[in-house]
Structure 1
Amino acid sequence: MDVRRLELLLALSRLGSMHAVSDALGVTTSTVSQQIAALAKEVGTPLIEPDGRRVRLTPAGRRLAGHAVDILAAHEAARADLDPSAEPAGTVRVAAFHTVIRDSLLPVVAQLPPAVRLEIQEQEPPEALALLERDQVDLALSYDYNLAPAAVDRALESIPLWESTWSLAVPSRSRRTTGTTADVLAAFADSDWIVNSRHTADEHVVRTLAALAGFEPRITQRADTLQLVQEMITAGLGVALMPATYPKTTGISLRRLRTPEPQMRAYALTRRGRTDWSPLSLVLSLLTRRAR
């Protein structure tokens, strides 16, 4: 099968229209149509069918597009193996949470060669993992906590990036507390708590720590970003876990938590066997180098 034709079919499966493929890859719409027709003739089965004024992939087309991911990755790996001096080329699709995009992914963009592009979408771990499992992204940047470890599917490969210690963020006017984590949290047993609205991991940590302190946390607020959590704390709506290194803000104090000390762990996830694809391998190498 012609590799270029497979690239066009894969692009059609992702972009949804021949016009979008034409714009993205810099070819004419008629070229896209002709090449996919030639591929259908080559494999002996229709790959697209009418869908109103547009087209959609047939079941056979969707299956072949799924195979195309592996075929193109293997082709790229073989090319790189036969020509180690050749620069990586291709588009790496990434789903990642806000902090790792800001602190880890964006800083490496300038280090990529012109032939390697990133397509980034901000997603919390559940959505990022779902996209990776459906092969709609090549790389998911996710996180869990030492007190709420995530199970990783054996079909995925996990690469550690960095860890960060988390503290209890409270209004500055709150009374001072010292001692173990249980001692600190017990002082806020009657407070409202703020947790993530799109991922349950930090809620699991809050409930675990509260259980060690002998109380059930009253979770009344949910927010998607640390900045909003910070503003809610300042407004007196509750307390929450936040990174110990988060920039200090007027109106908020951080109480260090010890024994146990909650830590968030960021890591990269790919489908097993894909890390030899040179553009993805380069992005992973830059991410792990920056984490070190």
Structure 2
Amino acid sequence: MAAMDVRRLRLLFELSRLGSMRAVAETYGLTTSTVSQQVAALARDVGTPLVEPDGRRVRLTPAGRRLADHAVTILAGVDAARADLDPHAEPTGTLRVGGFATAVRASLLPVMAELEETHPAVHVQVHEHEPLEAFTMLAEDQLDLALTYDYNLAPAPLPSTMTSVRLWSTAWGLGVPAAAAADSPVRDLAAWAEHDWIVNSRNTADERAVSTLASLAGFTPRIAHRIDSLDLVEDLVLAGRGIGLLPADRPERPGVRLLELRDPPVVMTAYAVTRLGRERWAPLRLLLDRLAVSAAR
């Protein structure tokens, strides 16, 4: 096997991220033909095909995907060495971030505004996804970073191929019609056993949390509605169509009362998750560091 050219390896890595020769060419100011020739030369260096036709485009072969995964560590090491030798080197690149709306608003948008001022060569693309969707896309290398969450009553196991940074936690309560809440003490969850319950339509975490809460109170919840929007959850509660979990720091809406859950409490924790090894990529490391600082504030 011939020695691998780092520049060619970087083009293969970008092809694994961006999905097309044209996108790689546009990112690096090259022609599509040049990118294709460099990837072909890398295939000759390693002695195995790295791409194969996929309609009018190409996709990585299994060997190409494995080499792209190795490239994460190799290129991160090269970038780290260059940065160590050149203290003025600036992170540059496009970051694909997928996450749930609350984390995008609370954590990502403020950091994007900071990066626009301090690191204009770092660009962030935002995709709204619930954790189950984001984990899948992260595993398939369709995202560089996922903003996810779980509940203390329904912890989400982290795949061995991924690593996470805890961002923040917030308590959740039970959203119920205000008129009905007057007749039910906060501590008596069983009083709500006969009501319809509302859970998330795109993630299973809150349904598992609700099931755990109900089980501890001695009943099985009747799941009637699966809703993604918190506003729509409140609409259903207000209309007397069901009850569901809502963030405790969310302003109470007239007609909706949020009951505090104490025994046990329900706490949601948000995380920044990336593939193991990818977190050393300079632009992603910068974003993770900024998210952690923002969360600490």
Q: Same fold judged by TM-score > 0.5?
A: yes
Note if 1:50 corresponds to 2:56: no
The CA distance in 2 between the partners of 1:80 and 1:200, in whole Å, is: 42
Q: Which moved more, 1:139-148 or 1:126-135?
A: 126-135
Shift of 1:86: 2.1
Please, which of 156, 164, 174 is the counterpart of residue 168 of structure 1?
174
Kindly indicate whether the alpha-carbon contact (under 8 Å) linking 1:198 and 1:224 is maintained by their aligned counterparts in 2: yes
5 Å-filtered alignment, 1:49-198, equals 49-112=52-115, 113-176=119-182, 179=185, 181=187, 183=188, 185-198=189-202
Number of equivalenced pairs:
290
Letter matched to residue 193 of structure 2: A
Q: Which residue of 1 aligns with 2:219?
A: 215
Please, which of 246, 253, 258 is the counterpart of residue 250 of structure 2?
246
Secondary structure, in 3 states, of the residue corresponding to 1:50?
Answer: strand
Q: Which runs of 5 or more structure 2 residues have no equivalent in the other structure? A: none
Q: Which residue of 1 aligns with 2:18?
A: 15
Q: Give the 3 Å change call, closer, same or farther, for CA 265–45 of structure 1 in structure 2.
A: same
- Deviation string 1:130-159 (CA, Å, 9 cap, x unpaired) is 223333333222111112222223443232
Output the aligned Cα RMSD.
2.2
Shift of 1:196: 0.7
Secondary structure, in 3 states, of the residue corresponding to 1:212?
Answer: helix
Q: Which runs of 5 or more structure 1 residues have no equivalent in the other structure? A: none
Secondary structure, in 3 states, of the residue corresponding to 2:88?
Answer: coil
Q: Which residue of 1 aligns with 2:232?
A: 228
Give the share of equivalent positions with the same residue, in percent: 59
- Deviation string 1:6-59 (CA, Å, 9 cap, x unpaired) is 232233333333233333443222222222222223323332333443333333
Kindly indicate whether the alpha-carbon contact (under 8 Å) linking 1:194 and 1:220 is maintained by their aligned counterparts in 2: yes
Q: Which moved more, 1:199-208 or 1:237-246?
A: 199-208
Kindly indicate whether the alpha-carbon contact (under 8 Å) linking 1:80 and 1:278 is maintained by their aligned counterparts in 2: no
Letter matched to residue 186 of structure 1: A
Letter matched to residue 57 of structure 1: L
Kindly indicate whether the alpha-carbon contact (under 8 Å) linking 1:145 and 1:202 is maintained by their aligned counterparts in 2: yes
> So what's the TM-score if we normalise by structure 2?
0.88
Q: Give the 3 Å change call, closer, same or farther, for CA 74–156 of structure 1 in structure 2.
A: same
The CA distance in 2 between the partners of 1:73 and 1:61, in whole Å, is: 18
Q: Which residue of 2 aligns with 1:256?
A: 260
Shift of 1:82: 2.4
Shift of 1:120: 2.5
Letter matched to residue 149 of structure 1: P
> So what's the TM-score if we normalise by structure 1?
0.89
The CA distance in 1 between the partners of 2:186 and 2:54, in whole Å, is: 63
The CA distance in 1 between the partners of 2:142 and 2:11, in whole Å, is: 16
